Amino acid sequence: MADFINTLRSRFKMASLLARIIYVNIGVFVVLRLIGIAGFLFGFNAGSIISFVELPSSPWRFLWQPWTIITYMFAHYDVLHILFNMLWLWWFGQLFLQFFSPRHLTGLYFVGGIGGGLLFMLAYNLLPVFAWHNGLLLGASAAIIAIVVATAVQAPNYKVGLLFFGEISIKWIAIVTIFIDFISISADNAGGHISHIGGAVVGLLFVMLLRRGIDITAWFNAIIDFFVNTWRRLTSDGSPRIRINPSYKRRRSHTSPSSSRHSDDIISPEDERVMDEILKKVKESGYSALSDEEKSRLFSASRRRSH
């Protein structure tokens, strides 16, 4: 069991940010299903436990559960719900990363989910049709729709192949998806469809404002960086850490005749390639993910650059 957990932990550390989001969604789904099964077998109300991760429409209840504005977008209970959401996220997440960075993907997932959640709460508290009704929201749909719309706005004529339809521009996929959500508001799950529209608005704003130099995901990424860096400091095992300059520049492989630098202090093209791979690995997975050989190479290259 310990080996299995260590394997999962290692895979999570080495995974891309997109894959990590999917892993977290699957992990939360498994936990919620196990709680539901336990409630069925032992006769307790599992719904009261699951409600701690669902976003409530009541602002008063939300004040007691503010974390739900984040947790709801990772929570699924139905198998088909998470299956289609994760396929949708993986598919459009890969397209999104062709035009934006992984940090943008992570930030937009959260900001889109928050936007969808806030519109859900506003609708339930301002529209007459929801008067005296309380709703609960869960699922990653609003966050995913934000990514779908952002991708479609950035590259509207990018074509993908669909079964039975052939090649189609992704702008039409986004338009049809939003249209279906809009006309479905009067049907079941009205709050869910409204949250999808909120996510779509955030996706549109993300691209339009980014073109003007305004990144609406920057504030949330800054918060994530703060907590991640704080956690790393608290859990540091004392291993030596190297400060990596993001603007790492390659050196030429030759020196002038008057240079007093020894040839061992010069980084060869092959070393440059290896160093790029190691630095990328450190950036994505941390220093602890490096092998002993990779750490040795990193220290050697750092020493040569400092001479």
pLDDT tens figures, 79-116: 999 999 999 999 999 999 999 999 999 999 999 999 99
Q: With contact defined as beta carbons under 8 Å apart, do 148 and 88 qualify? A: yes
Q: Model pTM?
A: 0.75
Is residue 210 scored above 70 in pLDDT?
yes
CB 34 within 8 A of CB 118: no
pLDDT above 80: residue 275:
no
Q: What angle do CA 108, 112, 114 make, to 5 degrees?
A: 120
Q: pLDDT tens for residues 106-123? A: 999 999 999 999 999 999
Which of helix, strand or coil describes residue 142?
helix
Beta bridge partners of 136: 56
Q: Could you state, in order of their start, the residue ranges of all structural domains in the chain? A: 16-221, 244-306
Which residues lie below 8 Å from residue 44, measured CB to CB, with a gap of 6+? Answer: 38
Nearest to 181 by CA among 148, 136, 132: 148
Taking 90 as the threshold, does the pLDDT of residue 289 lie above it? Answer: no
| C-beta of residue 106 within 8 angstroms of C-beta of residue 17 | yes
Is 300's pLDDT higher than 90? no
Residue 2: is its pLDDT beyond 80? no
Q: Please report how many Cα atoms fall inside a 13 Å half-sphere around the Cα of residue 9, on the Cβ side.
A: 8
Q: Helix or strand or coil: residue 56?
A: strand
Assign 151 a pLDDT band (cuts: 50, 70, 90).
very high
pLDDT at 111: 98
What is the tens place of the pLDDT at every residue in 59-81?
999 999 999 999 999 999 999 99
Contact 55, 117 (CB under 8 A): yes
Angle in degrees, 0-180, between the axes of helices 141-154 and 79-96, rounded to the nearest 10: 30
Q: Tell me the C-alpha to C-alpha distance, in Å, between residue 92 and each of 142, 164, 200, 258, 284.
A: 13, 19, 14, 55, 21
Better-scored residue on pLDDT, 13 or 117: 117
Task: Tell me: pLDDT of 302 over 80.
Answer: no
Q: Are 291 and 304 in contact (CB under 8 A)?
A: no
* Model pLDDT, residue 11: 85
| HSE of 226, CA atoms in CB hemisphere, 13 A | 6
Question: Which of 86-90, 135-139, 272-276 has the weakest average pLDDT?
Answer: 272-276
Third-level CATH fold of 16-221: Rhomboid-like fold (1.20.1540)
Torsions phi, psi of 212, nearest 5?
-100, 10
Helix (H) / strand (E) element for 137: namely strand 136-137
